[in-house]
A and B are shown apart, each in its own frame.
Chain A
């Protein structure tokens, strides 16, 4: 039987047709992957199914029954659960409270805490979703927050689970754990709709794949009968070259130097210890490491968002250790932050405002403190065009853009400023293959134009194909550094796990 049938679903936002006559059939008990570029309409379609958006036209059938889903409550009653691209948990509440919120077991008029805890416990054991019911959301890792979201859906007896880009925020290990959970859910008869940009993941976990492009359905294929290449072609509508070609480079003079940088992050109790490295003009230095080993601290220290205790930072021959964030930016530092919603964008600002973030006092966008609307608008239009940002216009709020397009806004803003050094942290997180190709080429182009780039990434493939040199960070220390060719993937993996420290040197 079919768990979900969507027929001829359409939805427009202003002038944009986000969904254009989409049909989708999901069989009961399968893992069905939805692929598509950023802005293809995946999230929109799922939000329609979950009752968060109203459709303009089309029909929805759940287990063969035609239904109207006007709000999430109805979707939940029909056994649908959704885990969003951006989590919707209440930070100050505990794990258990978040899971039961809105559906609390009652004892009289009070919440039956004990039963709540024991039910959460039971569910988490059954599906091997490890959580600490008493911990507050704000204090747990992203991976754990995601497990909470899944438990929340299961607690409401979801039979059909929608996972919108769950792996974008996970480390490889966490992704593997999630897949175990998904397989277990499948064995228990649950139906899973899974959205991702990673073709490898699609090939590993799904039974069937539906591909969307520009709001339309391109087709549905059986995973075992397809290949990553075919999927990429269907998604983008042309051949995608996942291998970049990197030109050889000659030695050049150093443009960025860090000497003996040390700090202590009291919150996570992580020490960055004596970090030193040099980046030449036209060179990409990759930072490999499992997330949480000091990458964030390094990124923040270099951009003056975090105080350092010792060390020196030198850009273009000038000691910038004492400069503030704005001064460093003005001196030629660009920053693509790892957490784009937290740091990189102001969601409620429109694109025009977001694109001048950091330059809001500078000519030509401002004159003596007065914003020059025309210049800002022209500039925004130019970036939107040049970086192919899919949006209804420069007045659209950043919050209304799809994830990948938000990333392009940040890239556009940072790279258009013609910086000398680019700190790019997870630049392709949550971004589709076409855009990854684009971003990779962009970074290489910047390199060939003589910029220095510090590339912090959790994707080994990305690091290996882009970096000229790689250093491995483990527990706040650089444990290895060398030319990219000098490391095999296995060696990098071991080094990142804190092993084989003697092997390479």
Chain B
């Protein structure tokens, strides 16, 4: 207990570079443990990791698969990171991205007569607005009633997913066995960067959003206010910052970015809204944000890592016959080590201490 409190105060003071080093150490340790698991489950470690790496970065198609898996995680990770900046824990990314996807699909289908780029931008906007509104609800509840956002966002996840399903089934469902909308018009589809990879310029949009959010926090008055509320609400209020408003706004912003996850999947990958399309991007986003230390550029790197593990994990399964679940374990280990950096320090300390004491 004593040492943990001591460690935490040290962790708080770490610089960006040491943070990066910590994250890297965590990744390496996780990969080593992964290797041990592979070894003991009777597989060839070298072959497994070769395939993992090759599957993630080996050729342009594989790289495209990595980036394809990275894109949604950038958005959801960033959404969580934005919330954190004002001290809010947005676990509602899943519900927000469903609303984003749904609104985007409906707008793209409804206004199919509009010219391509305008239609795409309008659809993206619709997704961001829908996600933003959904995100602002827990913000409002927190500001007005003090209801904790962790609880409300989780509940709103269920409501969001079920509400979009309900609307789909009753008003927008295409005839047939699958619960999905019609295809969106060709003109509304984001174009592929490399043919047959489904990797579109959504990845650039994601990076652009990273740049904007990074700029927002470093260089604008609004970003200043958001961080002030997050770091010390009493002091923010002392200075006349209206914390309630900032909380609602931050949650809206966070929700909007989460909404774009759904939008880009609809416009770039699925080309329609399908129920239960998300494998939990919103939740993985939490891990991405934690690994990325809630900094925009950190989120980008973390999302890339997760994307690579996923794409590489699939090829590992295919060619080395190792269940890709193993990569889920590695992902889990990475988070464990990053979220508990104190643990690593403790480990290194007790290792150092062991050869000194007695």
Q: A346 contacts which of B220, B222, B228 (Cβ < 8 Å)?
A: B228
Q: Is there a chain B Cβ closer than 8 Å to A373's Cβ?
A: yes
Q: B241 contacts which of A303, A326, A335, A348 (Cβ < 8 Å)?
A: A326
Q: Is there a chain A Cβ closer than 8 Å to B238's Cβ?
A: yes
Q: A325 contacts which of B1, B221, B225, B238 (Cβ < 8 Å)?
A: B238
Q: Is there a chain A Cβ closer than 8 Å to B170's Cβ?
A: no
CB distance from A391 to the nearest CB of B (A): 16
Chain B residue, CB-CB nearest to A353: B224
Stretch touching chain A among B59-67, B126-134, B205-213, B229-237: B229-237
CB distance from B64 to the nearest CB of A (A): 36
Chain B residue, CB-CB nearest to A347: B232
CB distance from B111 to the nearest CB of A (A): 31
Name the B residues within 8 Å of A76 (CB-CB): 2
- Interface pair A360/B235, CB less than 8 Å apart: no
Give Cα A371 to B217, complex, Å. 10
Name the B residues within 8 Å of A335 (CB-CB): 238
Taken residue by residue from 2 to 33, chain B's Cβ proximity to chain A (1 for < 8 Å, 0 otherwise) reads as 11011000000000000000000000000000
CB distance from B224 to the nearest CB of A (A): 5
Highest count of chain B CB atoms <10 Å: which of A52, A101, A360: A360
Chain B residue, CB-CB nearest to A356: B224
Name the A residues within 8 Å of B6 (CB-CB): 52, 71-72
- Interface pair B231/A329, CB less than 8 Å apart: no
Give Cα A347 to B228, complex, Å. 10
- Interface pair A357/B239, CB less than 8 Å apart: yes
Chain B residue, CB-CB nearest to A349: B231
Highest count of chain A CB atoms <10 Å: which of B2, B224, B239: B239
Name the B residues within 8 Å of A373 (CB-CB): 219
Contacts A76-B2, A88-B5 given; does A325 touch B240 at CB 8 Å: yes
Give Cα A347 to B13, complex, Å. 11
Contacts A324-B242, A342-B234, A346-B235 given; does A357 touch B228 at CB 8 Å: yes
- Interface pair B234/A72, CB less than 8 Å apart: no
List A residues 67-101 near B (Cβ within 8 Å). Answer: 71-73, 76, 88, 101
Contacts A353-B224, A371-B219 given; does A73 touch B235 at CB 8 Å: no
Q: A348 contacts which of B220, B231, B234, B237 (Cβ < 8 Å)?
A: B231
CB distance from B2 to the nearest CB of A (A): 4
Give Cα A325 to B242, complex, Å. 9
- Interface pair A360/B240, CB less than 8 Å apart: no
Q: Is there a chain B Cβ closer than 8 Å to A503's Cβ?
A: no
Give Cα A366 to B219, complex, Å. 9
Q: Dominant SS at the B interface?
A: helix
Highest count of chain A CB atoms <10 Å: which of B6, B219, B232: B232
Give Cα A101 to B5, complex, Å. 11
CB distance from B337 to the nearest CB of A (A): 22
- Interface pair B225/A358, CB less than 8 Å apart: no
Name the B residues within 8 Å of A15 (CB-CB): none
- Interface pair B239/A371, CB less than 8 Å apart: no
- Interface pair B239/A370, CB less than 8 Å apart: no
- Interface pair A371/B240, CB less than 8 Å apart: no
Name the B residues within 8 Å of A371 (CB-CB): 219-221, 224
- Interface pair A101/B3, CB less than 8 Å apart: no
List A residues 339-359 near B (Cβ within 8 Å). Answer: 342-349, 353, 357-358
CB distance from A59 to the nearest CB of B (A): 18
- Interface pair B3/A347, CB less than 8 Å apart: no
Name the B residues within 8 Å of A52 (CB-CB): 6
User: Number of A residues contacting the other chain (C-beta, 8 Å)?
Assistant: 36
Contacts A337-B238, A342-B234 given; does A360 touch B224 at CB 8 Å: yes
Name the B residues within 8 Å of A325 (CB-CB): 237-240
Taken residue by residue from 214 to 247, chain A's Cβ proximity to chain B (1 for < 8 Å, 0 otherwise) reads as 0000000000000000000000000000000000
Give Cα A1 to B239, complex, Å. 53
CB distance from B294 to the nearest CB of A (A): 13
Contacts A72-B2, A360-B221, A361-B221 given; does A349 touch B238 at CB 8 Å: no
| Interface size class, chain B | 20 to 34
Q: B228 contacts which of A102, A303, A349 (Cβ < 8 Å)?
A: A349
Give Cα A326 to B2, complex, Å. 41
Contacts A305-B238, A358-B240 given; does A102 touch B2 at CB 8 Å: yes
Give Cα A72 to B6, complex, Å. 8
Give Cα A5 to B227, complex, Å. 44
Contacts A71-B3, A326-B240, A358-B240 given; does A370 touch B232 at CB 8 Å: no
Q: Is there a chain B Cβ closer than 8 Å to A369's Cβ?
A: yes
Name the B residues within 8 Å of A347 (CB-CB): 231-232
- Interface pair A329/B240, CB less than 8 Å apart: yes
- Interface pair A370/B235, CB less than 8 Å apart: no
Q: Is there a chain B Cβ closer than 8 Å to A327's Cβ?
A: yes
Taken residue by residue from 418 to 441, chain A's Cβ proximity to chain B (1 for < 8 Å, 0 otherwise) reads as 000000000000000000000000
Contacts A370-B219, A373-B219 given; does A360 touch B225 at CB 8 Å: yes
List B residues 220-263 near A (Cβ within 8 Å). Answer: 220-222, 224-225, 227-228, 231-232, 234-242
CB distance from A22 to the nearest CB of B (A): 23
- Interface pair B221/A366, CB less than 8 Å apart: yes
CB distance from B118 to the nearest CB of A (A): 27
Give Cα A477 to B2, complex, Å. 45
Name the B residues within 8 Å of A337 (CB-CB): 238
Q: A344 contacts which of B222, B224, B235, B240 (Cβ < 8 Å)?
A: B235
Name the A residues within 8 Å of B225 (CB-CB): 360
Name the A residues within 8 Å of B1 (CB-CB): 101-102
Name the B residues within 8 Å of A360 (CB-CB): 221, 224-225, 228
Give Cα A245 to B80, complex, Å. 57
Name the B residues within 8 Å of A349 (CB-CB): 227-228, 231
CB distance from B12 to the nearest CB of A (A): 8
CB distance from A134 to the nearest CB of B (A): 20
CB distance from A409 to the nearest CB of B (A): 12
Name the A residues within 8 Å of B238 (CB-CB): 303, 305, 325, 335, 337, 343-344
List B residues 39-56 near A (Cβ within 8 Å). Answer: none
Highest count of chain A CB atoms <10 Å: which of B5, B6, B224, B227: B224
Chain A residue, CB-CB nearest to B2: A102
List A residues 348-386 near B (Cβ within 8 Å). Answer: 348-349, 353, 357-358, 360-361, 366, 369-371, 373
CB distance from A437 to the nearest CB of B (A): 27
Give Cα A326 to B238, complex, Å. 8
- Interface pair B2/A73, CB less than 8 Å apart: yes
Chain B residue, CB-CB nearest to A340: B235
Highest count of chain A CB atoms <10 Å: which of B2, B237, B238: B238
CB distance from A401 to the nearest CB of B (A): 14
Give Cα A335 to B238, complex, Å. 9
- Interface pair A343/B235, CB less than 8 Å apart: yes
CB distance from B146 to the nearest CB of A (A): 15
What residues make up the interface of A, taking CB atoms closer than 8 Å to B? 52, 71-73, 76, 88, 101-102, 303, 305, 324-329, 335, 337, 342-349, 353, 357-358, 360-361, 366, 369-371, 373
Q: Mind listing 26 A-B residue pairs with CB under 8 Å?
A: A71-B6, A72-B3, A73-B2, A88-B5, A101-B1, A102-B1, A305-B237, A325-B238, A325-B239, A325-B240, A337-B238, A343-B238, A344-B238, A345-B232, A346-B228, A346-B232, A346-B236, A347-B232, A349-B228, A360-B224, A360-B225, A360-B228, A369-B221, A369-B222, A370-B221, A371-B219
* 10 closest Cβ pairs, A-B complex: A326-B240, A102-B1, A358-B239, A325-B240, A343-B238, A102-B2, A346-B232, A357-B239, A361-B221, A360-B224
- New A-B pairs, 7, CB < 8 Å, besides A357-B228, A360-B228: A72-B6, A102-B2, A326-B239, A353-B224, A358-B239, A360-B224, A371-B220
What residues make up the interface of B, taking CB atoms closer than 8 Å to A? 1-3, 5-6, 219-222, 224-225, 227-228, 231-232, 234-242
